[in-house]
Structure formats: structure tokens, C-alpha cells
């Protein structure tokens, strides 16, 4: 049986999946480029499992709770566990003149509170947000490990975040 979740291997979802598989060794992890892609193709994965964090929010603004109810017929909640996210940071490249900020939708509200002037660009993962930020952004909320140490970054804030992870059976 497969455990479907967000990839690549550097994501918190991948780390949470690895943790879960330690106590469920029959599962094989399958990574996907976005949770939207996973939800759109659930029928392909019948009989497998889905791992999603409770803080997940789709680019369309749907919360974990809304998706939980929307997919009641397609998904059965079978387990849950706590697993801490990799340390998060709000970083800035002050040498960039733009106000572009890359962020996963779940962290967009937090970014709006902290940098109200930011032009927010949503990304499917914090790893993608880091990559886009490095290309042309000024701000990012991402995993600290996703940022190169050699850049002249200004770190505005750091967070340690425990997360609740949901495991669903795909019907």
C-alpha cells in the first residue's frame, strides 16, 4: 500500500511520511508535486492512503476542514499524529528592491500580518517558495534549511511549529 503526500523529499510532508512509515513499514511513500494534484486524482489511488497536515490550505483558500468535509465520500480518516515541522523562518533579501514574497498558502496570512506591503505569490510547498524566493523574491516564509547560508539574508522571525498530521484511507 502507498502513502501519498507532498514531495519532494525535502518537504515536511516527506519527513512526516518517513516518521509514520517507521511504525507502518508496509507503506511505501509516493510523492506528488502538490496536494491539489492529489485531491484531483483520488480515484487513481483507491485503497492507498493520503497524508496531509492539518494546517494545509489550498491555493483556492480551502482549509483542511473544508477539504475534510468536501471529500467525505472519497476519504476516511484512519489515523493522526504529531510531528514537528522543520524550523520556519521569515527571511528577507534586503538587496532586492521589489516587494515580492513567496509563501505556501497556509502561511500567507502570517506573512500578510508581518509584511503588509508584500506582493504575495503562493507556492505549492515551502521548498518551492524558497526556490522562487532565491530567483527573484525579497521575502519568504520557508524552512530554514532550504535557504543557503552564504546569502546576506535578514531573518525577521523563527518558529518551531508542532503539526497535526492526518492519515486517510482513499475509498
What CA–CA distance (Å, rounded) separates 101 from 106?
14
Task: Tell me what percent of the residues of the chain surpass a pLDDT of 70.
Answer: 100
What CA–CA distance (Å, rounded) separates 29 from 32?
10
C-alpha cell recorded at residue 48: 492507498
Asked whether the beta carbons of 163 and 87 are under 8 A apart, the reply is no
Is residue 59 pLDDT above 90, yes or no?
A: no
pLDDT band at 60 (very low <50, low <70, confident <90, very high): confident
Q: What is the pLDDT of residues 85-144, one digit of tens each?
A: 999 999 999 999 999 999 999 999 999 999 999 999 999 889 999 999 999 999 999 999
What CA–CA distance (Å, rounded) separates 137 from 165?
30
The mean pLDDT of 38-61, rounded to a whole number, is 94
Looking at residue 23, its pLDDT comes to 97
Phi, psi dihedrals of residue 74, rounded to the nearest 5°:
-95, -20
Ramachandran area for residue 54 (φ above 0: left; ψ -120 to 50: alpha; else beta): alpha
Q: Tell me, yes or no, if the pTM score tops 0.95.
A: no
Is residue 13 pLDDT above 90, yes or no?
A: yes
Q: What is the pLDDT of residues 110-121, one digit of tens each?
A: 999 999 999 999
Is residue 57 pLDDT above 90, yes or no?
A: no
> What's the longest Cα–Cα distance across the chain?
50
Amino acid at each position: 500500500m502507498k502513502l501519498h503526500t507532498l514531495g519532494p523529499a525535502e518537504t515536511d510532508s516527506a519527513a512526516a511520511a518517513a516518521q509514520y512509515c517507521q511504525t507502518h513499514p508496509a507503506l511505501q511513500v509516493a510523492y506528488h508535486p502538490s496536494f491539489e494534484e492529489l485531491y484531483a486524482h483520488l480515484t487513481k489511488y483507491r485503497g492507498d492512503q493520503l497524508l496531509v497536515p492539518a494546517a494545509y490550505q489550498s491555493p483556492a483558500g480551502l482549509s483542511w476542514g473544508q477539504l475534510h468535509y468536501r471529500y467525505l465520500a472519497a476519504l476516511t480518516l484512519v489515523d493522526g499524529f504529531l510531528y514537528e515541522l522543520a524550523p520556519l523562518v521569515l527571511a528577507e533579501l534586503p538587496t532586492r528592491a521589489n516587494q515580492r514574497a513567496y509563501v505556501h498558502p497556509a502561511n500567507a496570512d502570517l506573512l500578510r500580518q508581518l509584511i503588509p506591503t508584500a506582493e504575495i505569490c503562493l507556492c505549492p510547498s515551502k521548498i518551492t517558495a524558497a526556490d522562487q524566493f532565491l530567483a527573484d523574491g525579497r521575502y519568504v516564509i520557508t524552512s530554514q534549511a532550504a535557504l543557503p547560508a552564504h546569502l546576506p539574508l535578514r531573518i525577521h522571525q523563527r518558529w518551531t511549529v508542532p503539526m497535526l498530521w492526518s492519515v486517510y484511507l482513499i475509498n
